[in-house]
Amino acid sequence: MSRILIALELGRNYGHLAACLPIAKALCRRGHVVAFALRDLRLAAEWLVPAGFPFIQSPVPGKAARLSRPPANYAEILLGEGYGDVEGLAGLAGAWCNAFRLAKPDLVLADFAPTALFAARLSNIPHLATGSSFTIPPPCSPLPSIRPWEEIPESRLERAGRIVDLHLERAAAKLGAGYQAGLGGLFGTRDLLTSFPELDCHAGRRGGNYIGPIYGLPDAPCVAAWPVRAGQRILAYLRPEIPGLPELLAALAARDAEVLCVIPGVKPELSRQIAGSRLRIVAQPANLQKLLVQVDLVVCYGGHGFLCEALQAARPLLIVPHFVEQALNARAIERLGAGIAIGTMRSREIFDGALAQLLDNPGFAEQSRIFAEQHAQFSPARSIELAVDAVEAAIAAPVCYDRA
The C-alpha atoms of residue 360 and residue 367 are separated, in whole angstroms, by 14
Angle of helix 362-374 relative to helix 304-312, nearest 10 degrees? 90
Per-run averaged pLDDT (10 residues), the chain, 404 residues: 96 84 97 97 93 96 79 96 95 98 97 98 96 93 94 96 98 95 94 95 87 77 68 92 94 92 86 80 80 93 93 96 95 96 95 96 96 94 96 87 50
The C-alpha atoms of residue 304 and residue 324 are separated, in whole angstroms, by 12
In a domain, 226, yes or no: no
Tell me, yes or no, whether 207 and 254 share the same domain.
no
Tell me, yes or no, whether 188 and 251 share the same domain.
no
Cβ-Cβ contacts under 8 Å for 372 (sequence gap 6 or more): 311, 312, 313, 314
* The predicted structure's pLDDT at residue 228: 66
Range of the domain at 285: 232-374
Nearest by Cα to 50 from 214, 213, 215, 217: 217
The C-alpha atoms of residue 261 and residue 236 are separated, in whole angstroms, by 5
* The predicted structure's pLDDT at residue 173: 97
Question: What are the angstrom distances between the C-alpha of 51 and each of 14, 193, 306, 318, 336?
Answer: 15, 25, 22, 33, 37
* The predicted structure's pLDDT at residue 217: 61
Say how many C-beta atoms besides its own lie within 10 A of residue 9's C-beta: 23
Nearest by Cα to 41 from 58, 25, 24: 58
pTM: 0.91
* The predicted structure's pLDDT at residue 404: 46
Tell me, yes or no, whether 20 and 58 share the same domain.
yes
* The predicted structure's pLDDT at residue 100: 98
In a domain, 221, yes or no: no
In a domain, 219, yes or no: no
Nearest by Cα to 201 from 94, 304, 322: 304
300: enclosing H helix or E strand: strand 297-300
Give me the count of residues in the chain: 404
Query: The domain that contains 12 carries what CATH number?
Result: 3.40.50.2000
In a domain, 217, yes or no: no
DSSP readout, 22-84? HHHHHHHHTT-EEEEEES-HHHIIIIIHHHT--EEEPP--SS----SS---SHHHHHIIIIIT
Tell me, yes or no, whether 206 and 85 share the same domain.
yes
